[in-house]
């Protein structure tokens, strides 16, 4: 099923990325539409949205949004894009996203690109937007019904939950070795822990990097990317299903910042260029200090990060700083705290360049259990961080909720 998506953008053709956008749209079965506007639309759009940008490319963007709101463009969703580091563009992008969300009630994804943006960078976003369009009513679902299993087949861990009528009956995780083997082990363990038979399971949802392989093996009812699924799980567990919220997920190999509204994502960034801002860095740091990751988080709470000069912009140099500090007699507590602050600061500087930090801020994933990291994020963002119950199972819970929506009960 092809969906029609309005491209509302400025600078894509001069940045040389239009071809990449078209390629990503084709791969995700999207037809890109450029709503036609005239000069009178521009004037009316600036009045309606309340912004008067100096750049005419941005004025045309506002007019295109107005044309959609007025029903003069037949589209199912919109992707709003401007150049990375264009402050005026960022203001317009956010204003259009809000305008379309409130007035046209269509799914919107926003993104800021550079000349290095490739179709592959856009695919996850386009897939999420496509799911938001095709599964709009499913994503709007706010409760769980029936007996379902959700599995998050991640790059480092495979996590699963069995849920019945909104309650978690059982949860289980394993390190991911082979995608299907780990997934099936978790699935069987969930059946055992919840004391249920396979025949009692009404639906299975799978998300994460191994979703297609594992989903096929389990004959899953739902195989969906992790952005929309984790958003659903986090907003459900964090009781943030109404209005704005922000999700932080420091994964084993990458990290994500997701802006959501009513439990549905509208903007997100996925970082993974440097492991210095990943859970892996904290794991290695804990190992070097000779403590497990949970203790690492506890002792970090007692440390002073300012006493250690640490550069975790690279996992190698970060570890070098850590070893140097220990060799010069630094306290373990201060080193652990410095490692946590380093991750939080790098995340803040990289991921929050594109994503607005709107409260409540929900931190999810296995690293949300590292207390020192949560404190580091609170100090860095100057905001209270909410860690939902079962925070490490948000993806699995989201998959269980969304698959229950396919049962057709309500």
46 touches another protein (CB under 8 A)? no
- CB contact at 8 A, 109 and 130: no
User: Smaller CB distance to another protein: residue 22 or 314?
Assistant: 22
Grouping H, G, I as helix, E, B as strand and the rest as coil, residue 352 is coil
Shortest Cβ distance from residue 346 to another protein (Å)?
19
**Distance, CA of 98 to CA of 102 (rounded, Å):** 6
Which one, of 310, 255, 313, 256, lies nearest residue 288 by Cα?
A: 310
Please state the closest distance from residue 54 (CB atom) to another protein, in A.
4
**Complex with another protein: residue 3 or 17, whichever CB lies closer:** 17
59 lies in the site for another protein, by CB under 8 A: yes
Q: How far is the CB of 352 from another protein (least distance, A)?
A: 18
Q: Are 252 and 278 in contact (CB under 8 A)?
A: yes
Chosen residue from 2, 19, 316, 389 binding another protein by CB under 8 A: 19
Q: How many residues bind another protein (CB under 8 A)?
A: 31
Q: How many CB atoms lie within 10 A of CB 309?
A: 9
Distance between CA atoms of residues 95 and 140, nearest Å: 22
Q: In what order do the strands lie in the sheet with 30-33?
A: 30-33, 3-9, 77-83, 108-113
CB nearer another protein, residue 16 or residue 175: 16
Residue 121 as a binder of another protein (CB under 8 A): the answer is: no
Among 53, 154, 303, 372, binds another protein (CB under 8 A): 53
Is residue 86 close enough to count as binding another protein by CB under 8 A?
Answer: yes
User: Residue 49: enclosing H or E segment and its boundaries?
Assistant: helix 39-49
* Residue 56 binds to another protein (criterion: CB under 8 A): yes
Q: Answer for the pair 33, 22: CB distance below 8 angstroms, yes or no.
A: no
* Interaction of residue 85 with another protein, rule CB under 8 A: yes
Q: Which is nearer to another protein, 89 or 318 (CB)?
A: 89
Q: Does 35 bind another protein (CB under 8 A)?
A: no
**36 binds another protein, rule: CB under 8 A:** no
C-alpha 255/C-alpha 252 separation (Å) is 8
Which residues contact another protein (rule: CB under 8 A)? 10-19, 22, 39, 42, 53-57, 59-60, 82-86, 88-89, 113-116
């Amino acid at each position: 099923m092809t969906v029609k998506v309005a491209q509302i953008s400025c600078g894509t053709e001069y940045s040389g990325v239009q071809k990449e956008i078209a390629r990503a749209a084709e791969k995700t079965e999207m037809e890109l539409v450029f709503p036609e506007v005239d000069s009178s639309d521009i004037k009316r759009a600036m009045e309606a949205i309340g912004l008067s940008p100096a750049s005419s490319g941005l004025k045309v963007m506002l007019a295109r949004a107005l044309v959609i709101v007025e029903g003069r463009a037949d589209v199912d969703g919109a992707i709003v894009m401007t150049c990375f580091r264009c402050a005026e563009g960022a203001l317009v992008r956010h204003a259009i996203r809000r305008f379309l969300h409130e007035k046209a009630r269509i799914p919107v994804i926003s993104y800021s690109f550079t000349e290095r943006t490739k179709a592959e960078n856009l695919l996850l976003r386009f897939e999420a937007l496509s799911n938001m369009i095709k599964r709009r009513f499913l994503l709007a679902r706010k409760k769980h019904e029936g007996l379902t299993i959700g599995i998050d087949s991640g790059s480092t861990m495979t996590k699963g939950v069995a849920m019945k009528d909104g309650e978690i009956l059982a949860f289980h995780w394993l390190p991911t070795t082979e995608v299907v083997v780990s997934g099936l082990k978790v699935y069987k363990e969930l059946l055992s822990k919840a004391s249920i038979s396979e025949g009692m399971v009404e639906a299975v949802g799978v998300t994460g990097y191994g979703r297609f392989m594992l989903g096929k093996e389990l004959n899953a009812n739902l195989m969906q990317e992790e952005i929309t699924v984790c958003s659903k799980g986090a907003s459900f567990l964090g009781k943030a299903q109404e209005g704005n919220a922000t999700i932080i997920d420091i994964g084993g190999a990458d990290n994500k910042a997701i802006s959501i509204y009513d439990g549905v994502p509208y903007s997100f960034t996925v970082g993974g260029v440097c492991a210095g801002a990943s859970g892996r860095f904290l794991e290695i740091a804990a190992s070097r200090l000779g403590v497990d990751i949970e203790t690492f988080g506890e002792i970090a709470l007692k440390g002073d990060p300012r006493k250690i000069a640490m550069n975790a912009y690279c996992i190698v140099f970060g570890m070098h700083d850590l070893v140097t500090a220990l060799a010069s007699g630094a306290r373990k507590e201060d080193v652990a705290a410095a490692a946590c602050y380093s991750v939080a600061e790098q995340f803040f500087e990289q991921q929050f360049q594109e994503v607005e930090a709107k409260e409540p801020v929900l931190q999810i994933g296995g690293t949300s259990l590292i207390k020192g990291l949560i404190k580091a994020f609170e100090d860095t963002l100057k905001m209270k961080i909410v860690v939902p119950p079962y925070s490490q199972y948000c993806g699995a819970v989201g998959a269980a909720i969304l698959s229950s929506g396919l049962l057709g009960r309500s």
